[in-house]
Structure 1
Amino acid sequence: MATRKKVAFYTLGCKLNFSETSTIARSFSTEGFDRVDFSEKADIYVINTCSVTENADKRFKSIVNQAHKSNADAFVAAIGCYAQLKPHELADVNGVDLVLGATEKFNLTSYINDLLEQPERSRGTGEVHSCDIEEADFYVGSYSIGDRTRAFLKVQDGCDYKCTYCTIPLARGISRSDSLENVLKNAREISEQNIREIVLTGVNIGDYGKGEFGNKKHEHTFFELVKALDEVEGIERLRISSIEPNLLKNETIDFVASSKAFVPHFHIPLQSGSNTILKKMKRRYMRELYIDRVSKIREVMPHACIGVDVIVGFPGETDAHFLETYNFLNTLDISYLHVFTYSERDNTEAAEMEDVVPMKVRNKRSKMLRGLSVKKRRAFYESQLGSMRTVLFESENKEGYIHGFTENYVKVKTPWNPELVNTLHNIELTRIDDDGLVRFEFANVYSG
């Protein structure tokens, strides 16, 4: 009897990538492969790449080296955004055997099986199968399961926006969505696996509803998707991942406020607090709309967590523009920041712009905003002390503690107890530990 081959996966980047890696991994299991951890010896290593940040690009070579340290004869495949944008660059990396672009990645098992049947195959430059991104006009649904306490459910892919700094449209193609029926089917499959929380993910999920093949007709709106998912039995929590401020409508905010399953947590990209820079970025809103969205959330959900994406060091961002952003965020009633240091990406408008901000200045501004984020998160956590919240515990033992998140995304910890994994408990938030997390003891747990 032939020995079953082993496959390992490494995912760079966003929740969307995690959902797609998980779906591809399930296709390997169907084909008779055993999945192992990336640190273990495997016959095949799959790296799902990202190209949103420069750091993700640079990590690729070290991950390939890590795979070959475990098994020098292993077969290495690269998929994902970087594989679509620069397939031949990845194929030239020593030890890479196969690179698949946006339309080919979900057929990875077929390519692998074909190449494994070639005993004399060359181990030189990797084989590339990559399309013109215009051909990425169909939709493949996916979700993560078995990898984490929560599941990432992909509902949308691609983007029609033309932000001047972004390569996502070049890497993932036009905006297109899963059918409502298939999203609900996937959500039910997740609920049957005893997963307590689903995070909706995509490139631009507020644009949900656009069909395949460039069909711009919205069969269903994002609001209709939210209402339908709220009726799925067995899912205790639903969380909306990043959503554009111009697509986060009052009807959605009001519905979440009274929802059975959707939690009071929003992550809303801002990118800059300066209208001048927002225009240069070709964002589809001004800061006044952002203020309005935050105010609306606070009006109906005072306890909601609001996260913000912001980019520093964009071409033309002067000290005055940056201070405008800093002061805007400092006065805004938000909960935390994700700070990105601008990095030039090939084939984007911003890469050709003048008034480049020196890297030293970019890094200084990033540090300032990360410091502001720490203060914002601390203030938000302090505002929640004395309240009763529901915590979903995760699966890792981190230095003797188990961590979890409340419905409004307060991170808590308690001494490690494996029986708490993937369970929900009502607790009173009473104190913040030295590491900035809310800490409680078992005596504070009132019900499971």
Structure 2
Amino acid sequence: MTPNAKKVAFYTLGCKLNFSETSTIARNFQQEGFERVDFEEVADIYVINTCSVTENADKQFKQIVKKALKNNEKAFVAAVGCYAQLKPEELAAVDGVDLVLGATEKFKITDYLNDLTKNDLGEVHSCEIEEANFYVGSYSIGDRTRAFLKVQDGCDYKCTYCTIPLARGISRSDELQNVLKNAKEISQQGIKEIVLTGVNIGDYGKGEFGNKKHEHTFLELVQALDGVEGIERLRISSIEPNLLKNETIEFVSKSRTLVPHFHIPLQSGSNDILKKMKRRYLRELYVDRVNKIREVMPDACIGVDVIVGFPGETDEHFLETYHFLNDLDISYLHVFTYSERDNTEAAEMEGVVPMNIRSKRSKMLRGLSVKKRRAFYESQLGTTRTVLFEAENKEGYIHGFTENYVKVKAPWNPELVNTLHEIKLTKIDEDGSVRMEFVRDVVSI
């Protein structure tokens, strides 16, 4: 690091993909001689990686800008990411923002930093989203005990509620050799778990420049990664039900490194609403996927994304979703309250659901999620699992996750951080995590 190096700090909103990209952008800064510091510290430059999915994205963004300027009122503030691509002028007008970079520019941010003088109005460099047709590989490292490895970007689906194709462009993938190279680099850093991430990772294999031909399939990707030395665990972040094939499920069940944990977006348990959303499956296919997983991996953890309050969702439609999920052998829910997004078909649809009803439905499904997670954890008591411990000391306890995503706790011991242990799950604690007994010392799979 150069003496008197400029300091840079990062704040990431949104998904695992954003975390992997922030990490890569941070490494680019460090290669250019900048010193990375925590966001709470005084820095010369603050980079905020934005998200368009979170509710009140603009409000959240303004608060983070304020936080940065409180640390250093003369700091240079840059915004990148999905919201920066969708609403660049809006972000540029926020008091204290100096630079806004769209989808193609964010990885070249250091090229725009020759002059760190504060601007009266944020300078915008964004592209037409059609120009986002090249692929930049990235992964996060050094932030957590697990790494997020980006394998795919963009999406060709036209779901009526979603702005991601507008924010990230067409579906395109990293080359298989490059993914394997990144995975090896991660494993050489002593990181035990890699989470595969992207916008639509089941669509892995599409080349650059809108080439619809798949060079490789998602199954070939996980088969190749399973053979990388030094990787102890591979986790699939989220995969569309229509792209999760039987062959992949079967391979995961026999794999050396892939863990029995699936996160599969559903969005609605009503076929009427699924059609209005322009999802590429009906609920019957979803049941089929869950049944297939349970057949070959009875103890697998299955997480579900669901949206409540979509335009036209009547009480009957919602109850259809509720009962569908209640009857389904799944482990937890991620519940999203529908919120209107500019330039989406859904924003123009009739049958707007009042906010108070959206909130009520959301609360009901969150309650169901608590019940489902509890039942799943109870089904795992008495079993022997492998846990990977994380780095945080939370009120005298260290937490970790089993391969099938049960959250466990043990009295804090710094020597346990980033180590794998065989354990027996004993009882559920008041905070919802599971107590455990050690069976064997560090396991190297």
Q: TM-score, normalised by structure 1?
A: 0.97
1:194 CA displacement: 0.1
Q: Which residue of 1 aligns with 2:107?
A: 106
SS at match of 1:125: coil
Identify the residue that residue 385 of structure 1 maps to in structure 2.
381
Secondary structure in 2 matching 1:436: coil
Give 3-state SS (helix, strand or coil) of 1:115's partner.
coil
Aligned partner of residue 397 in structure 1, secondary structure: strand
1:425–1:359 Cα change, 3 Å = same
Aligned to 2:136: 140
Per-residue deviation, 1:53: 2.3
Amino acid at match of 1:98: L
SS of match in other structure, 1:429: strand
Instruction: Give the structure 2 partner of residue 354 of structure 1.
Output: 350
Aligned-pair CA distance for 1:2 = 5.0
Query: Conserved in 2, the CA contact under 8 Å of 1:388 and 1:426?
Result: yes
Name 1:233's counterpart in structure 2.
Answer: 229
- Amino acid of the structure 1 residue aligned with 2:270: S
Could you tell me how far 1:446 is from its partner in structure 2? 2.3
Query: Which amino acid in 1 is paired with 2:21?
Result: E
Mapping of 1:321-336 within 5 angstroms? Answer: 321-336=317-332
Contact 1:240 1:266 in 2 (8 A): yes
| Counterpart contact for 1:13–1:56, Cα < 8 Å | no
Secondary structure of 2:165 counterpart:
helix
Q: Deviations over 1:12-31 (max 9, x none)?
A: 00000000000000000001
Shift of 1:445: 4.2
Q: 1:432 to 1:298 in 2, by over 3 A?
A: same
Distance 1:373 1:139 in 2: 36
The letter for the 2-side match of 1:373 is S
**How far is 1:400 from its partner?**
1.0
Deviation at 1:447, TM superposition (A): 1.9
CA distance in 2 between partners of 1:55 and 1:190 (Å) = 34
Pairing 1:254–2:255 present: no
Give the alignment partner of residue 401 of structure 2, picking from 401, 405, 409: 405
Deviations 1:85-125 (A, max 9, x none): 0001000000000000000000011112x223xxxx45200
Q: Is the 8 A contact 1:19 1:153 kept in 2?
A: yes
State the one-letter code of the partner of 1:64: V
Task: Give the drift of 1:56.
Answer: 3.2
Given residue 26 of structure 1, which amino acid in structure 2 is its aligned partner?
Answer: R
Q: Secondary structure at the match of 2:394?
A: coil
Determine the C-alpha separation between the residues in 2 that align with 1:81 and 1:156: 15
| SS of equivalent to 2:398 | strand
Q: Is the 8 A contact 2:76 2:118 kept in 1?
A: no
Q: Which amino acid aligns with 1:96?
A: V
Contact 2:74/2:118 (CA < 8 Å) preserved in 1? no
* Shift in Å, 1:435: 1.0
Are residues 1:209 and 2:186 paired?
no
What are the superposed Cα offsets for residues 46-105 of structure 1, whole Å, 9 maximum, x if unpaired? 000000122333200000000000000000000000000000100000000000000000
Counterparts of 1:205 and 1:57 in 2: how far apart (Å)? 28
Distance 2:59 2:228 in 1: 41
Residue 447 in structure 1 maps to residue 441 in structure 2? yes
User: Deviation string for 1:215-247 (max 9, x for gaps)?
Assistant: 011000000001000000000000001100000
Equivalent residue letter for 1:446 = R
Cα distance in 2 for partners of 1:108, 1:149 equals 27
Q: Does 1:311 align with 2:345?
A: no
Residue 74 of structure 1 is matched in structure 2 by 75
Partner of 1:298: 294
The aligned amino acid for 2:364 is M
Gaps of 5+ in 2: none
Aligned counterparts of 1:55 and 1:177: Cα–Cα separation in 2: 30
Distance, in Å, in 2 between the alignment partners of 1:57 and 1:271 is 24
In structure 2, what is the Cα distance between the partners aligned to 1:342 and 1:254? 34
Shift of residue 439, structure 1, vs aligned partner: 1.3
The answer to whether the 8 Å contact 1:47/1:77 transfers is yes
Match for residue 275 of structure 1 among 271, 278, 286:
271
Contact preservation (8 Å) 1:311, 1:340: yes
CA displacement 1:269-316 (0-9 Å, x = unmatched): 000000000000000000000000000000000000000000000000
Q: Name the SS of the counterpart of 1:393 in structure 2.
A: strand
- Who is 1:158 aligned against? 154
Is structure 2 residue 21 aligned with structure 1 residue 27? no
In structure 1, distance between residues paired with 2:66 and 2:245: 46
Equivalent residue, structure 1, for 2:411: 415
Q: Distance between the aligned counterparts of 1:89 and 1:83, measured in 2?
A: 8
Of 432-441 and 29-38, more deviation after overlay is shown by 432-441
Contact preservation (8 Å) 1:50, 1:57: no
Q: Distance in 2 between matches of 1:400 and 1:278?
A: 45
Give the letter for the 2:405 counterpart: Y
SS in 2 for 1:229: helix
- The residue number in structure 2 matching 1:8 is 9
Q: Which segment drifts farther, 50-59 or 383-392?
A: 50-59
Q: Which runs of 4+ in 1 moved over 6 A?
A: none
Matched, 1:424 2:428: no
What SS is found at the alignment partner of 2:265?
A: strand
Distance, in Å, in 2 between the alignment partners of 1:336 and 1:304 is: 12
- Please give the alpha-carbon distance, in whole angstroms, between the structure 2 residues aligned to 1:422 and 1:41: 29
Contact in 1 for aligned 2:388/2:420 (Cα 8 Å): yes
Asked if structure 1 preserves the Cα contact closer than 8 Å seen for 2:58 and 2:91, the reply is no
> How far apart are the structure 1 equivalents of 2:59 and 2:397?
32
Show the counterpart of 2:115.
115
Q: Which residue is 1:130 aligned to?
A: 126
Residue ranges of structure 1 left out of the alignment (5+ in a row):
none
Q: Look up the equivalent residue of 2:108 and give its one-letter code.
A: N
Q: Is the 8 A contact 1:413 1:439 kept in 2?
A: yes
* CA-to-aligned-CA distance 1:232-273 (integer Å, 9 cap, x gap): 000000000110000000000000000000000000000000
Distance 1:8 1:396 in 2: 21
CA RMSD of aligned residues (A): 0.9
